[in-house]
Amino acid sequence: DGGITQSPKYLFRKEGQNVTLSCEQNLNHDAMYWYRQDPGQGLRLIYYSQIVNDFQKGDIAEGYSVSREKKESFPLTVTSAQKNPTAFYLCASSTQRGNTGELFFGEGSRLTVL
């Protein structure tokens, strides 16, 4: 089945550690996105990539890093510089159709910093 796979679903880390969240899609989509969601809040855009080997900062990029070496993959690293990393992280992709393309979301990764 085509879709977006995020892993791990749940992740615990100690303060000061970097952690990488995986996002893979087999939809042949050009654009990929990372969002963060805190309890009771909407989604906030961290980073997005419209094409391989290119990505842009979203609204809350500080403390995060990404790479886009392959079309299918867009991993997110939560670094120790992120002051409050405990959150629900969502990855999405869409065709590069400008303003009409639909976003498809993964099931999310829930990160807890102990």
Partner 1 sequence: DAKTTQPNSMESNEEEPVHLPCNHSTISGTDYIHWYRQLPSQGPEYVIHGLTSNVNNRMASLAIAEDRKSSTLILHRATLRDAAVYYCILRGPPDYKLSFGAGTTVTVRA
CA distance 6 to 107: 7
Residue 5 or 20 with smaller CB distance to partner 1: 5
| Count of residues engaged in binding partner 1, rule: CB under 8 A | 26
Binding flag, residue 112, partner 1 (CB under 8 A): no
The nearer residue to partner 1, 63 or 101, going by C-beta atoms, is 101
Q: Print the binding letters for residues 5-44 with partner 1: x by CB under 8 A, - otherwise.
A: --------------------------x-x-x-----xxxx
Distance (Å) of CA 100 to CA 1, 34, 50 = 23, 19, 14
Shortest distance, CB of residue 81 to partner 1, whole angstroms?
23
